[in-house]
Copies of this chain bind each other. A is one copy, B any other.
Amino acid sequence: MNLASCADHSFILTLACPDTRGIVHAISEWLVERQCNILESAQYGDPNTGLFMMRIHFSAEDSSHDSEGLGREFLPLVSRFDMDWSLRDSGKKPRVLILVSNQDHCLHDLLYRYRIGELNIEIPAVVSNHRTARQLAESHDIPFMHWPVTPELIHNWDIKLLQLIEDETVDFVVLARYMQILSKTICDRLPARIINIHHSFLPGFAGASPYAQAYKRGVKLIGATAHYVTQELDEGPIIEQDVLRVDHSMLPEELAAIGRDIEKVVLARAVRYHAEQRVVLNGKKTVVFR
């Protein structure tokens, strides 16, 4: 169920904990006791790591429930099962900061989905090291910040970004073809909260100029990968990937044109999955409850 189409008074609970008997029972009891109805539920137990992960979307008949109160009442289960968890009011839109460089096709696509309500998010700002996207952002009434990146300013840049994230209570950051490498500081401070779109089917063609690499290697499909950003370039947990067919006659710029169509949908899916709390980290991988 796409949250954008859900007007209910409802909540999303996600959790990860060591797998053991009775977790589902305890949670469903907790829900029944509070007159809550499960709207959607998905779970996965990883046989290799022994980790159990779950996402439950539930509605509450009692309109006095809020995520803070429910969260407090959930704490006994958290400590009993040693959970990583979050509980979020599904009506509260995640706040997403978008970073972009010169190529604005992903930004353009995300803003359209945002405008027609397909993405259930708020966008407090667009930040760019170029001025290209100013008009696009501002035509959607979104503040645009032009923050050039230079080696000597990079430390200040980090501070400004973290400040902006705090000031705007940003939930997560999207690199919509932002062609700068983020610092270790930023990556460490925002684990599983920065989504990047890489324009190849990782792990193939990591690094620079993937379409030129793809052309040179003569692959018959090209792809795109949305992943969480970690310090290791293009090595973060993969959220979504897709590919399209190409052929020998296509030059790198034609691969790039086809690639844009993949990048846009792959990033948009990843943003929606994350915004709807569908992605749970499982070590260096993700579990995506689609």
Chain A interface (Cβ within 8 Å of chain B)? 1-2, 4-5, 21-22, 24-25, 28-29, 31-32, 35-45, 47, 105, 108, 112, 116, 118, 139, 201-205, 217-221, 223, 237-243, 245, 247-251, 253-254, 257, 260-261, 265, 268, 282, 284-288, 290
Q: Residue A248 contacts which of B243, B249, B282 (CB distance < 8 angstroms)?
A: B282
Could you tell me if A43 and B41 are in contact, using CB atoms closer than 8 angstroms? Answer: yes
Could you tell me if A251 and B286 are in contact, using CB atoms closer than 8 angstroms? Answer: no
- CA distance in complex: A254, B1 (Å): 8
- CA distance in complex: A247, B286 (Å): 10
Interface SS, A side: mixed
- CA distance in complex: A31, B23 (Å): 11
Could you tell me if B5 and A24 are in contact, using CB atoms closer than 8 angstroms? Answer: no
Question: Nearest chain B CB to A216's CB is how many angstroms away?
Answer: 8
Residues of B within 8 A of A247 (CB): 288, 290
Could you tell me if A2 and B221 are in contact, using CB atoms closer than 8 angstroms? Answer: no
- CA distance in complex: A132, B112 (Å): 14
**Nearest B residue to A239, CB-CB:** B220
Question: Nearest chain B CB to A59's CB is how many angstroms away?
Answer: 10
Could you tell me if A265 and B254 are in contact, using CB atoms closer than 8 angstroms? Answer: no
Could you tell me if B202 and A44 are in contact, using CB atoms closer than 8 angstroms? Answer: no
Could you tell me if A251 and B47 are in contact, using CB atoms closer than 8 angstroms? Answer: yes
Residues of B within 8 A of A287 (CB): 248
Residues of B within 8 A of A29 (CB): 25, 29
Residues of B within 8 A of A47 (CB): 251
Question: Nearest chain B CB to A17's CB is how many angstroms away?
Answer: 14
Could you tell me if B203 and A217 are in contact, using CB atoms closer than 8 angstroms? Answer: yes
Asked if A2 meets B218 with Cβ closer than 8 Å, knowing A25-B25, A45-B39, the reply is no
Q: Could you pull out 30 A-B pairs where Cβ atoms are within 8 angstroms?
A: A1-B249, A2-B253, A2-B257, A5-B251, A5-B254, A22-B32, A25-B25, A25-B29, A38-B43, A40-B249, A41-B43, A42-B42, A105-B116, A139-B139, A201-B201, A201-B221, A202-B204, A202-B217, A202-B219, A203-B204, A217-B284, A218-B282, A219-B238, A220-B238, A220-B239, A221-B243, A243-B243, A247-B290, A248-B282, A248-B287
Could you tell me if A220 and B249 are in contact, using CB atoms closer than 8 angstroms? Answer: no
Report the 4 A-B pairs with minimum CB-CB distance, sorted nearest first: A218-B285, A25-B28, A204-B204, A220-B241
